[in-house]
Amino acid sequence: MGAASILVLAAVLAQAAPPAAESGEAVTRRVCGTVCHNFEHVITVGRTRPQWEATVENMIGRGAKPTSAEVTTILDFLASKYTLTPTTIRGGVGPRDKPMVDPKAVERAVPLFASDCQSCHGPDARGTSNGANLVLSDVVLRDRYGSTLGPFLATAHPRPMPALTSMQVLLLSHFLRARVNDTLRGSPLFTAGDVLTGNANAGEQFFKGEGGCAACHSPSGDLASIGRRMDPITIQQRFLFPNNVASRRRATPPPQTTVTITLPSGETRSGSLVYIDDFNVSFRDASGAQQTVRRGANVRVVKTDPYAAHVDLLPRITDKAIHDVVAYLASLK
């Protein structure tokens, strides 16, 4: 074969050879870094896979036009490379669906909090004479990745605030959630304090009246001698988050939180709740198999929580009332 023939054959083979597969990072950079912002903006804060799915859906709504294959590639890449790395609080302290914290986001938020918030709220966000304790703030405690914090800072903050981007709000939400987690029993930074500071008589009145506790509990029944059986901190934890404590301390299985899901087709599914967030619901059906359903506008989810009365009490009970009730329960010897 002559030299000319070899060159022609090489050219034909080059044209026939399939192109090299584009890496997940390359696809993500090409699709996600050319719409509204650069790629580095996209990966600033880690997310769970459902959150990345929501992010990609939002990106498509803003004009991106990835193919179905590209969407899968992007999600696989982001969920594996830039997944949310939560800070774990030992013992499952707090509600099961509490927002996770990305340590990287907290680190990035430190200078932002120091420049815009620290002078009033202190370095640990627990307040000063010039500003409130954010760890006890309803806005912070109810926030999920900026859901309540962002609107508050934009429209309701009592003092003028510099305009913050959605990314800055997200970073601050992780920072403040980390400060809340620092106060939870099981956190490496948790220091037990004296919680037995309330008035037992006032606690008894709240227990039998406004709190509605007597509807389910009795000082001579299930709570008899609880002051001998448990220390004040454990009493407080069980009072506020009984679902977590009960699962570890009861000899018999605690009552289960259940969900009933109605799909757009009208089909219903139900079982014991495993996990629920803003994007997905996971449950275990009667056969023991775990199922996951994506939440949406036409998906109805009814959650039945045996501890619903305790959950409903959290947003309205005051710090004083908490300590009063703990003092009352601790007095039941």
pLDDT tens by residue, 6-50: 544 455 445 554 555 788 888 888 887 665 666 776 776 777 787
Q: Mention every residue, 6+ apart, whose C-beta is less than 8 A from residue 52.
A: 75, 78, 79, 82
Strand partners, 272: 258, 284
Per-residue confidence (pLDDT) for residue 246, from 0 to 100: 47
- Provide CB contacts within 8 A for 46, sequence distance 6+: 82, 83, 84, 85, 102, 104, 105
Residues 212 and 125 in one domain: no
Single out the residue in 35, 52, 81 at which a domain terminates. 81
In a domain, 33, yes or no: yes
Considering the domain architecture, whether residues 100 and 212 belong to the same structural domain is answered as no
Same domain, 165 and 279: no
Q: Which of 133, 152, 182 is the last residue of a domain?
A: 182
Specify which residues 259 forms β-bridges with.
Answer: 271, 303
Q: Where is the domain boundary, 182, 210, 231?
A: 182
Domain region containing 104: 90-182
CB-based contacts of 33-37 (< 8 A; 24+ apart in sequence): 35/59, 35/62, 35/63, 35/64, 36/62
Q: Is 1 helix (H, G, I), strand (E, B) or coil?
A: coil
Domain count, the chain: 4
73: domain CATH number?
1.10.760
Q: Both ends of the chain: CA-CA distance in Å?
A: 102
Nearest one of 51, 42, 94 to 277, comparing CA atoms: 51
Query: Do 72 and 105 have their domain in common?
Result: no
Residues 138 and 42 in one domain: no
Find tokens 């220091």 and name the residue: 191
The predicted pLDDT at position 247 comes to 46
**Structural domain contains residue 7:** no
Give the span between the Cα atoms of 184 and 98, in whole angstroms: 12
Supply the DSSP symbol for 154.
I
pLDDT (0 to 100) of residue 302: 94
The amino acid present at 39, given as its one-letter code, is F
- Both tokens of 244, joined, read 């977590």
Question: How far is CA 177 from each of CA 48, 152, 186, rounded to the nearest angstrom?
Answer: 16, 16, 15
What six digits make up the tokens of 2?
A: 């002559």
Q: What residues of the chain score a pLDDT lower than 70?
A: 1-20, 33-38, 41, 44, 84-97, 243-252
pLDDT, tens digit, 9 for 90 and up, residues 199-229: 999 999 999 999 999 999 999 999 999 999 9
**Are 60 and 46 members of one domain?**
yes
Q: What percent of the chain has pLDDT over 70?
A: 83
pLDDT at 28: 85
Contact 153/83 with Cβ under 8 angstroms? no
Say yes or no: 204 and 322 in one domain.
yes
Question: In the prediction, which pLDDT does 195 show?
Answer: 84
111 vs 105: CA distance, rounded Å = 11
User: With contact defined as beta carbons under 8 Å apart, do 106 and 174 qualify?
Assistant: yes
Residue 215 has what pLDDT? 92
The answer to whether residues 260 and 304 touch, using CB atoms and an 8 Å cutoff, is yes
**The residue to which tokens 């597969």 are assigned:** 21
Bridge partners for 260 per DSSP? 270, 302
